[in-house]
Structure 1
Amino acid sequence: MKILGLGTVAMDVLMEVDQLPVADSFGVISKVSYLPGGSGTNVIVQTARLGAEASYIAKLGDDSIGKDILTSLEDEGVDIAGMRIKPEGISLHTNVVLDKDGQKFILLNFGDAFGTLSTEDVDRELIERCDTFFTDCFPNEAPFFALEFAKSLGKTTVFNMQTGFGTYAAFGIQKADLLEALSQIDIFAPSREGLKDLFGSEDPQQVLPELRKYFRGTIIVTLGAKGVIAIDSDDRVIAVPAVKIDPVDTTGAGDSFIGTFMVAHLQWNQPLDEALRTANASAAYTCLGIGARSSPNAKQLGEWILTHTKGE
């Protein structure tokens, strides 16, 4: 499977602290690490680790962070021919504050490069060559243009809405833009916050009648420790429990999930329920390491499923 992604790209500055601070308090930093991240690239890296032929489109600055991000993608086997560089630009990066229990909060520094990706920057030949087009619909009109083009060519399209609407609004993206984009989507994977912001509830079954006004494909909503619920295009509901673990760091679990799901369902041809279980296992594996890319390759995932998910 050839999969092309377009969306977020970042460096995660991970700060491990004794406790998450509340208003007017502080936490003590014990360690600082620099880890390649960005939800969109995390997803695409996961597909590459599982054997997909992956490529990515985004815009970086020519700063040290941007150069490190490009190197990390190449090291993971992701084609970077579609990446664009802003001269003297500042690449998007995040500050992730993580406590000893694996709880976190994330602060975004948008920089001045990421948001300048234009429709002219989008490589149409990459879209023509791919089988699946993936996006988180950031940073502006470019992903919407690419979605429409991909759908016109009959590509399988996936939208992973990993944040609430507020982050989209910060980039000037309107709710109407996201709703209109749903007509171009085959697989919609919103966060619970995103689903509530668009349709008024975190429960996909409750909002299904309204959702179906815009979208006829498969919806997938992860529920953390409660597992995942999916509704296919025939309105069949599938609920799969989570794998029971003691998480070290939940950063990137959702990215690992959707990347694995796409490969399992679209490349390995696993039925929807089996692909959801495979993706759950990958997310659980990711939670046992530090950082968004502590996710498994195909061999590691297979061994994990055999030894840790019996009876799940």
Structure 2
Amino acid sequence: MDVYGLGTLAMDVLMKVDNLPSEDGFCIVKSNDRQPGGSGTNVIVQLARLSAKCGYMGAVGDDALGKDVLKSLRDENVDTKSMIVKPGKITLHTDIVIDDEGRKFIMLNMGDAFESLTSDELDYSAVSSAKVFYTDLLPKEPAITGLKKARKAGVKTVFNMQVGLGTMQGLHVSKEEILSALKFTNIFAPCRGGLYELTGTTDLDACVRYLRDYCKGTLLFTLGKEGSVAYDEQDRKYTVKSCDLEVVDSTGAGDSYMGSFIYQYCLNGMSIEESMKFATMCAGHTCTGIGARFSPDLKTAETFVWK
């Protein structure tokens, strides 16, 4: 396959209520809905929509949420033969409570399936036969093992750190383990907050100098409204501005960017700068709709991105 992913997955359980209750208060649930989410699967779905042949690995429970996760991937033509279903366990999900004015709060329920995935359950043949191995380093042990196995097999590796250092540590991944994983990484793409916390500076050139002790590959920094910046292996710097458009919902824009960049740079051999421009436009498209998976398919990208 083109890209094999191992990382976060989730179902978003949306509850529309008449009001957000205060302490000891209550509200009336007006409707319930489920939407697939999870940064790792969002990236892979974007790749699949752009015509990449993708597979994914993670652990879900045998509950209704787990079945929904699997169906959502299969509906996007993502190979799920490596997915592990854990009997009696609960699938990672978020409970999102939204009132009539759009105010909300989010509760992350880790469940007990996602983090139970072990390195022994990793599909080594899928990792070694792919062109690209993608991970956000969660869950830690199989993700780190996957990076090592992929590099040994000559597979290009991408580590996309989507959350801050504090969240990574809360998910049992230390700063030292993150830095150690970088030696097996061809492309490191941390979110802005995670980058600054990891390096201890907000100066991008200083961030690069810090990271070069650990990662010799391409460094890709997404900066929200400020666009994106990349440094190649020779530390040549590339800067691309964000799209000038009316944002409806920025949820999932970073995932769309990452999937689109991998598609052009890793699979199609496009230059770093041109791949960044393509990814920026795809992320911009995601911002014009509602939800993390309002990401373009190849036909939409060809009309929206290149118009």
TM-score when scaled to structure 1?
Answer: 0.91
Name the amino acid aligned to 2:246.
D
In the alignment, what sits opposite 2:9?
Answer: 9
Partner of 1:65: 65
Q: Per-residue deviation at 1:108?
A: 1.5
> SS state of the match for residue 66, structure 1?
helix
The gaps in structure 2 that reach 5 residues or longer are none
- 1:201 correspondence with 2:212: no
Which is further off, 169-178 or 82-91? 169-178
Q: Are 1:102 and 1:249, in contact at CA under 8 Å, matched by a contact in 2?
A: no
What is the aligned-residue RMSD (CA, Å)?
A: 2.6
Aligned-partner SS, 1:8: coil
Offset of residue 193 of structure 1 = 1.1
**Equivalent residues of 2:227, 2:242 under 8 A apart:** yes
Asked whether the 8 Å contact 1:7–1:136 carries over to 2, the reply is: yes
Alignment of 1:48-127 (within 5 A): 48-96=48-96, 106-127=106-127
Asked if the contact 2:2–2:267 (Cα under 8 Å) also holds between the matched residues in 1, the reply is no
Q: Aligned partners of 1:237, 1:29: CA distance in 2, in Å?
A: 50
Summarize the Cα distance change of 1:148–1:15 in structure 2 as closer, same or farther, 3 Å threshold. Answer: same
Give the letter for the 1:306 counterpart: W
- Report if aligned partners of 2:252, 2:293 keep a CA contact under 8 Å in 1: yes
**Residue 150 and residue 91 in structure 1: after superposition, are their counterparts in 2 closer, same or farther (change >3 A)?**
same
Report the equivalent of 2:220.
220
Letter in 2 for 1:298: L
Q: Deviation per CA, 1:195-230: give whole Å up to 9, x if none.
A: 112111244312221110001111111111111111
Distance 1:183 1:100, change over 3 A: farther
- Please give the alpha-carbon distance, in whole angstroms, between the structure 2 residues aligned to 1:78 and 1:232: 30
Q: Structure 1's 282 and 24: CA in aligned 2 closer, same or farther, altered over 3 A?
A: farther
Counterpart contact for 1:117–1:140, Cα < 8 Å: no
Name the residue aligned to 2:191. Answer: 191
Amino acid at match of 2:295: S
Matched AA of 2:222: T
In 2, Cα distance between equivalents of 1:141 and 1:117? 8
CA deviation map 1:154-193 (0-9, x unaligned)? 1100000000112222222111110000000011110111
Size of the alignment, in residue pairs? 307
Which secondary structure state, in structure 1, belongs to the residue aligned with residue 168 of structure 2? helix
SS in 1 for 2:189: strand
Look up the SS of the partner of 2:269 in the other structure. Answer: coil
Query: Does the residue aligned with 2:247 lie in a helix, a strand or coil?
Result: coil
Decide whether aligned partners of structure 1 residues 68 and 15 sit closer, same or farther in structure 2, where only a CA change above 3 A counts.
Answer: same
Q: 2: CA distance between counterparts of 1:305 and 1:235? A: 28
Alignment CA distance shift 1:29-1:294 (3 Å): farther
Determine whether 1:157 maps to 2:134: no
SS state at 1:44 partner:
helix
In the alignment, what sits opposite 2:37? 37
d(CA) in 1 for partners of 2:50, 2:162: 21
| Change over 3 Å in CA distance of 1:15–1:234 after alignment to 2 | farther
One-letter amino acid of the counterpart of residue 43, structure 1: V
Partner SS for 1:173? coil
Instruction: Quote the residue 2:242 is aligned against.
Output: 242
Hey, what does 1:310 align to over in structure 2? none
Q: Secondary structure at the match of 2:254?
A: helix
Percent identical pairs in the alignment equals: 44
Match of 1:131 in 2: 131
Structure 2 SS opposite 1:161: coil
User: Which 4+ residue blocks in structure 1 deviate beyond 4 angstroms?
Assistant: 15-32, 96-106
Stretch deviating more after TM superposition (28-37 or 253-262): 28-37
Return the alpha-carbon distance in structure 1 between the equivalents of residues 227 and 101 of structure 2. Answer: 20
Paired residue type of 1:133: F
TM-superposed CA distance for 1:14, in Å, is: 3.8
Give the gaps of 5 or more residues in structure 1. 308-312
In 2, the alpha carbon distance for the partners of 1:246 and 1:17 equals 28
Displacement, 1:17? 8.3
Q: Deviations over 1:39-68 (max 9, x none)?
A: 000101111111111000100000000001
Distance 1:223 1:23 in 2: 36
Q: Tell me the residue number matched to 1:172.
A: 172
Kept after mapping to 2: 8 A contact 1:101/1:248: no
Partner of 2:291: 291
TM-score by length of 2: 0.92
Q: What per-residue deviation string (whole Å, max 9, x for no partner) do you get for residues 81-100 of structure 1?
A: 11001101100012346799
Whole-Å Cα distance in 2 between the matches of residues 265 and 20 of structure 1? 44
Preserved CA contact (<8 Å) 1:261 1:275: yes
